Structure 1
Amino acid sequence: MDKQIQAINTSPNYKRIYHDFIQSKCPDKWENVKDFFSKKSMSLSDVLKINNIIFLDKLSESQKFKSYDREAIIEMLEYQKKHKLNNKQLALHFRLSRNTVTKWKRKFLV
């Protein structure tokens, strides 16, 4: 039971993170993402779609605001296996650094 509570506390609250970020940094994009906030929880695909909406414009190309929990990382690494992608291809697909993918693979022993 303690592990479940710990796991809940360690995973990012994407709804809160994105809500706060959008309200403070880019309130003009709220109309484009508000439907995601009516869901009970956000899936990896929801997080990636919101990232694209928020960060795709040329003014916000920085990746420093992206955050992924363990389940999302494992899902991306499984996507890599399923589609037989190398680290560079996976990084391009999810807009990540190749070094990040390598680090995740070492950490999660995938």
Structure 2
Amino acid sequence: MINTEPNYIKIFSDIISKKFPQKLSHCQHFLQKERLSSLDIITLNSILFSESDTNNDHKSYDKESIAEILNYQKKTKMNNSEVASIFKISRNTLAIWKKTMVKK
């Protein structure tokens, strides 16, 4: 089966080397990973681009990232509003994730 996922490590490496070489030290941890999760991609976007440059309307999270966010919430004992503001997602989205992850 052919992997149709873009090579995000290569894409971000090229962007950093051409446009943001001063931010390489902040991003090095992510670029050394074998595979980037959707949460890693969103974090890299926020490091490289200002809030006004990014469009947050169409973010997408994989199951691994959703589990990571929910584990973060459990570990820090935060409510939905607090976690939603940190990750810039809606409280309703977070509540839906919690309901669907419990059912599985």
TM-score with structure 2 setting the length: 0.63
Question: In the superposition, relative to structure 1, how do residues 18 and 74 fare at CA in structure 2: closer, same or farther (>3 Å)?
Answer: farther
1:104 and 2:104 equivalent?
no
Question: In the superposition, relative to structure 1, how do residues 55 and 65 fare at CA in structure 2: closer, same or farther (>3 Å)?
Answer: farther
How far apart in 2 are the matches of 1:77 and 1:18? Answer: 29
Match of 1:78 among 64, 71, 79: 71
How far apart in 2 are the matches of 1:49 and 1:87? Answer: 20
Calculate percent identity across the aligned residue pairs: 34
Q: How does 1:8-27 map to 2 (within 5 A)?
A: 13=5, 15-16=7-8, 19=11
TM-score with structure 1 setting the length: 0.60
How far apart in 2 are the matches of 1:87 and 1:14? Answer: 31
Q: Match of 2:51?
A: 57
How far apart in 2 are the matches of 1:81 and 1:14? Answer: 31
Match of 1:89 among 50, 57, 82: 82
Q: Which runs of 5+ in 2 are unaligned?
A: none
Q: When the two structures are aligned, how many residues end up with a matched partner?
A: 95
Does 1 or 2 have the higher relative contact order (CA < 8 Å, sep 6+)? 1
Question: In the superposition, relative to structure 1, how do residues 107 and 56 fare at CA in structure 2: closer, same or farther (>3 Å)?
Answer: farther
How far apart in 2 are the matches of 1:89 and 1:50? Answer: 21
Greater than 6 Å deviation, 4+ residue runs: none
Q: Match of 2:33?
A: 39
